[in-house]
Amino acid sequence: MRDKFLSFSLPLVGAEEIDEVIAALKSGWLTAGPRTRQFEQEFRDAFHCPAALALNSCTAGLHVALKVLNIGPGDEVITTPMTFAASVNVIEHVGARPVLVDVEPDTLNLQPDAVAAAITPATRAIIAVHYAGHPVELNSLRSIAEEYRLELIEDAAHAVGARFEGTPIGSGTNFTAFSFYATKNLTTGEGGMLTGSQELLDRARIVSLHGMNREAWSRYAAGGKWAYDIVEPGFKYNMTDLQAALGLQQLRRFDRMQARRREIVARYNEAFSRHAAFLTPSSRSHVENAWHLYVLRLRAGELTIDRNQFIDEMTARNIGTSVHFIPIHMHSYYRDRYGYHPDDFPVAHTAFRSMLSLPLSPSMSDQDVADVIEAVLDIREKHGRRRMAA
């Protein structure tokens, strides 16, 4: 057993990030400024985005997207129950109604047919979440959005670096929101990026900073003018140069970090796919999975313990895990407000009861990976059902 607890997802931060943050501190520009703009430009170029806007969270990006698209009271937005609450909370924030539909059994992404069946005259948009880093079926959802004249917003909190049919997530003209939270594939501690067409991003930039027609960067830099105008009531959602300093260096090591994630996933798959007790994550051939999460599912009837007990056993072996996610319709606010029952979305509910996320981070050593595999297989050995000989 390990002597030291292995955290579920430690970020990989090195001397380059530390030096860049120190340089930002010494520059005298701490809030949104030159490094934030540089990070936007380098992110845009790295993932072939039409335009990019750095924000303080992915949640802010989703909220701004809904506001820019004028979605509000009386409107419906279709999304998934298999996501973190932020994806759905923002719909409530603008006064619209979230409409949940079930997910696909393998990827746990939105079922396109269920999306189409849920459309009503009040439907205005789809928020598609790229769950665990596996892209949704974008072609199907784009076709549905076009047919019914809906807005398609992509929640790519898990999907930086993912590709659909060879095209990077975020390279489309529709709004796509990314997360740089501490556990994400690319981190700024807290932070996010909103991408989309230049026209959409021009409006989003105003909405994201108090509704001002000019940023502090242009007002306070050398030769800047003090006057500004509030053209609409906006929000305080900007990223800081301290966060962007982290992001710039994370972006430069991103390909190496992703390669390490794929190495760990390959070792997990090789170890677990041979055992009937486990269902390893799916990855369809026409996508490149970002592998933000490694979600292992326990097959019903193959173990004498349930998912919660399995997690307890992992903790006892000093291995951190998590669950992604408690489905939205099972949280008290949404359950009570909309009268949901757990089995209203049976695929999501069944998956939730069997899933746990294993440690997955480029900061993990080979020994860390071996310790996770040993712990999982040891629990299976001790708690697997014994089959009677025929």
| Residues designated as active site | 184
Q: How far apart are CA 148 and CA 120, in angstroms?
A: 10
Q: Terminus-to-terminus CA distance in the chain, angstroms?
A: 36
Which two tokens mark 130?
A: 């790229």
Kindly report whether the peptide bond that precedes residue 5 is cis, defined as omega within 30 degrees of 0.
no
Q: How far apart are CA 216 and CA 99, in angstroms?
A: 38
Environment class of 225 (CB within 10 Å of its CB; exposed 0-12, middle 13-18, buried 19+): exposed
